[in-house]
Chain A
Amino acid sequence: DAGVIQSPRHEVTEMGQEVTLRCKPISGHDYLFWYRQTMMRGLELLIYFNNNVPIDDSGMPEDRFSAKMPNASFSTLKIQPSEPRDSAVYFCASSLDRGFSEQYFGPGTRLTVT
């Protein structure tokens, strides 16, 4: 398996623009997680899905953020409109079960909002 795949790897956009980050989890994994990582706050869980259904979105910072998982092999994280404070590395991870067993992380998307 190729592991968790994220695209794009880097994204530079202007404030106010819409940004869409994409993730393909490992086949057979039932859980998918979106994280944001900054130097100041470290890794923060934004939202996670089980069998394509959002379970906990309490980490989503505000209404500008939304995430979808239309099928077992694809998820998106959208920011609209983007702001400079959204600049961070966004990771997608997947795992096998509810017990938060080992999560396999993708390479991340580095987002810069100018």
Chain B
Amino acid sequence: KNQVEQSPQSLIILEGKNCTLQCNYTVSPFSNLRWYKQDTGRGPVSLTIMTFSENTKSNGRYTATLDADTKQSSLHITASQLSDSASYICVVKGEKLTFGTGTRLTIIP
């Protein structure tokens, strides 16, 4: 069964600190993996997409990694800001899209 599991479910960190969110998947065949950011009360917005051949991709303070062998991805946020408070959703495309349930990140001043 295709599954996407994200951890932790929720995370609280101090402003300025770094954090890493995890996404493990069992989707096969694998096409790509996308990270979305969802602010409270809004729809998800794409942060980055990872294909099979990509190991690391950065988008500003966000860096995504992909290990296709172990079927794991991570999203690292550097020097967190209050505006980073949101849910982060991992979505894996195989024959269909499979969504993770997200990590709720809270940045406190």
A contact residues vs B (CB 8 Å cutoff) = 4, 41-45, 56, 91, 93, 99-100, 102-103, 105-108
Residue contact B89 to A105, C-beta cutoff 8 Å: no
Determine if B93 is an interface residue (Cβ-Cβ < 8 Å): yes
Contact status of A102 and B34, CB under 8 A, knowing A43-B44, A45-B97, A108-B42? yes
Contact status of A107 and B93, CB under 8 A, knowing A41-B101, A42-B100, A102-B49? no
Residue contact A44 to B99, C-beta cutoff 8 Å: yes
Give me 17 A-to-B residue pairs in the complex whose CB atoms sit less than 8 angstroms apart, sorted by A's number.
A4-B43, A42-B89, A42-B100, A42-B101, A43-B44, A43-B89, A43-B99, A45-B96, A45-B99, A91-B43, A93-B43, A99-B31, A100-B97, A102-B46, A105-B43, A107-B41, A107-B42
Query: Which residues of chain A come closer than 8 Å to B93, judged between CB atoms?
Result: 100
Alpha-carbon gap, A49 to B43, bound state (A):
19
B contact residues vs A (CB 8 Å cutoff) = 31, 34, 41-46, 49, 89, 93, 96-97, 99-102
B99 in complex: contacting residue of A4, A42, A106, A107, CB < 8 Å: A42
Task: Specify which of B41, B43, B97 lies most central, judged by the most chain A CB atoms within 10 Å of its CB.
Answer: B43
Residue contact A42 to B102, C-beta cutoff 8 Å: yes
Query: Which residues of chain B come closer than 8 Å to A102, judged between CB atoms?
Result: 34, 46, 49
Nearest Cβ on chain B to A24's Cβ, whole angstroms: 14
Nearest Cβ on chain B to A37's Cβ, whole angstroms: 9
Cβ-closest chain A residue relative to B100: A42
Task: Specify which of B41, B42, B44, B45 lies most central, judged by the most chain A CB atoms within 10 Å of its CB.
Answer: B44
Query: Which residues of chain A come closer than 8 Å to B41, judged between CB atoms?
Result: 107-108
Nearest Cβ on chain A to B15's Cβ, whole angstroms: 26
Alpha-carbon gap, A99 to B31, bound state (A):
9
Alpha-carbon gap, A103 to B34, bound state (A):
10
Query: Which residues of chain B come closer than 8 Å to A56, judged between CB atoms?
Result: 96
Alpha-carbon gap, A99 to B93, bound state (A):
9
Contact status of A108 and B97, CB under 8 A, knowing A42-B89, A102-B49? no
Query: Which residues of chain B come closer than 8 Å to A91, judged between CB atoms?
Result: 43-44
